[in-house]
Amino acid sequence: MTARTRVWRPDWPCPVSSVLHQQRHGGADPTFKVDPGGTIWKGLRTPEGPVTLVVAARPDLGEVEGRAWGSGADWALERLPALLGAADSWEGFEPRHPLLAELRRRHPHHRLGRTEVLLDALVPAIVEQKVTGQEAFAGYRMLVHRYGEPAPGPGADRGLRIAPDAATLRAVPSWAWLQMHVDPARSRTIVAIARVADALERAVPQGAVERDRRLRAVPGIGVWTSAEVRVRVLGDPDAVSFGDYHVAKDVGWALTGTPFDDAALAEFLEPYRPQRGRVPGLIALAGLHRPRRGARMSPRTHLPARVTRW
């Protein structure tokens, strides 16, 4: 299989690694691999078909090289700049807190990338609802290994996988979801979105507001899931993961010394509209979080525990 290649020269020092890592779901995400030299391999199911996308930064030359295999290769390479943040702009964002101003100064080149592919972001977001990261990442990993497919070209040799398509998700039996530690509420939501996936995909060009409305019309998808999807699929700078176990508390602790609840976070972020997501994004980018003194959430034990080699 012949690779398609594109060399792109961004007009800013694009931090390829940090931008692309926004699309990763846990350290063992089978759709995302990183070479020792920093080259990133991403398996993606595009509207034109599966693709293995390899992205290598060449900072000394001021360029990024993309190589792609599979029927979705041209589609993915055409959108490589947007994936790396070329469509994002910080214009109009005014830090209203000294810490935010300092973090913005430290990360002047960070941007939000966008995949423009819905299911690859929506399914893991649903799997991650209301569970620990450990449980969520393990469940998604099992789903991709069991029901996905090898990535095209050399991606398969590296163990890279493509997440399952909508038809495959609709056919997963209820007992199999339980084996993957996905409870009935979340598996029903995944099957529901798989039934309307084509209609949801068509809403991508209509922007974040319409996408939010359509997503939240599906039972089981709320504010948190919609935000997690919009920031990855559309690079929406106003997407805030309200309802997250950590986000409000960490933002409040970092900026005021006192953890916020969601109501306090919403009030604090209102002046930043339509770029509210920049604030928790900067806090997370800097690795700032409140001290974890209390007991941690533990993975649930009432679901089948056979994880085997997945």
Over range 278-294, report the average pLDDT.
Answer: 88
User: What is the C-alpha to C-alpha distance for residues 58 and 17, in angstroms, rounded to an integer?
Assistant: 12
Backbone dihedral angles phi then psi of residue 114, each to the nearest 5 degrees: -140, 135
Q: Dihedrals φ, ψ of 9, to 5°?
A: -115, 95
Give the model confidence (pLDDT) of 173-199 as tens digits.
Answer: 999 999 999 999 999 999 999 999 888
Region for residue 220 given its phi and psi (left: phi exceeds 0; alpha: psi -120 to 50; beta: otherwise)? left
DSSP state of 295: P
As a whole number, mean pLDDT of residues 48-54 equals 97
Classified as helix, coil or strand, 33 is: strand
Set out the domains of the chain in order of their start, with CATH numbers.
Answer: 4-90 (3.30.310), 91-310 (1.10.340.30)
Check whether 256 has a pLDDT greater than 50: yes
pLDDT of the residue at 310: 34
> Torsion angle of alpha carbons 238, 242, 245, 250, nearest 10°?
50
Residue 173, CA atoms < 13 Å, CB-side half-sphere: 3
Type of residue numbered 65: E
- What confidence tens digit (pLDDT) does each residue in 221-239 have? 999 999 999 999 999 999 9
Report d(CA 190, CA 198) in Å as an integer.
Answer: 14
pLDDT above 80 (res 306): no
* 166: Cα within 13 Å, side-chain hemisphere: 18
Q: pLDDT value at position 172?
A: 97
| Per-residue pLDDT band at 244 (split at 50, 70, 90) | very high
Confidence class for position 203, pLDDT limits 50, 70, 90: low
| Residue 308 pLDDT grade (very low, low, confident, very high; cuts 50, 70, 90) | very low
Lowest mean pLDDT among 6-20, 61-75, 182-196, 203-217: 203-217
Question: How crowded is residue 298: how many other Cβ atoms within 10 Å of its Cβ?
Answer: 9
Residue with tokens 């997370």: 284
pTM value is: 0.90
Helix axis angle, 278-285 to 247-256, nearest 10°: 80
- Chain centroid offset of residue 285 CA: 14
φ/ψ bin of 72: left (φ > 0), alpha (ψ from -120 to 50), beta (otherwise): alpha
Beta bridge partners of 42: 32, 53
Q: Are 124 and 145 in contact (CB under 8 A)?
A: no
What is the per-residue pLDDT for 293?
65
